[in-house]
Amino acid sequence: MRELQRDKGMINPDLTPLIDVVFQLLIFFMLVTTFSQYTKFDMNLPQSNVETMDKPEVEVDLIIDKEAKLFLKIGDESIEIPRDQLVEKLKEFMEGRKEQVLVISADKDLKYETVIETMGQVKNAGIEKIEINTIK
């Protein structure tokens, strides 16, 4: 009779491997989210009724944020460009790429004058194909 009572004891599962996996997932997501600080910009784009056009293979964006800072985004990488070096950097990048389209994304609350000055600098760099990014 005593042997039957010993076998009916409670079995406690070991939670250590589960906790280890949860902590590893937490560390993974913390590391992955810190590497993407320049991939997203807080932008308030103006609206448009124009249909979307075909996208080029490598999209090149010139982003102007709320503080009028300039960022050149090529694919998934983006670099900040000082305003006085914009023409040189664009000439350097667009050399040999006459068919490349430059997409300008400017914040809706930005001064109109800032966008026009930037477009003038883009034209001075020899870029003829310019698109302005909007939301529909």
CA distance 61 to 116: 16
> How would you write the pLDDT of the chain (136 residues) with one tens digit per residue?
455 555 566 788 889 999 999 999 999 988 877 665 555 666 676 776 766 655 555 677 888 888 888 888 877 788 888 888 888 888 887 777 767 788 888 888 888 888 888 888 888 888 878 888 766 5
Q: Minimal CA–CA distance to 70: which of 2, 118, 127, 135? A: 118
Tokens 């050399």, residue located: 95
Give the tokens for residue 42. Answer: 């807080």
Phi, psi dihedrals of residue 65, rounded to the nearest 5°: -90, -175
pTM of the model: 0.55
With contact defined as beta carbons under 8 Å apart, do 135 and 106 qualify?
A: no
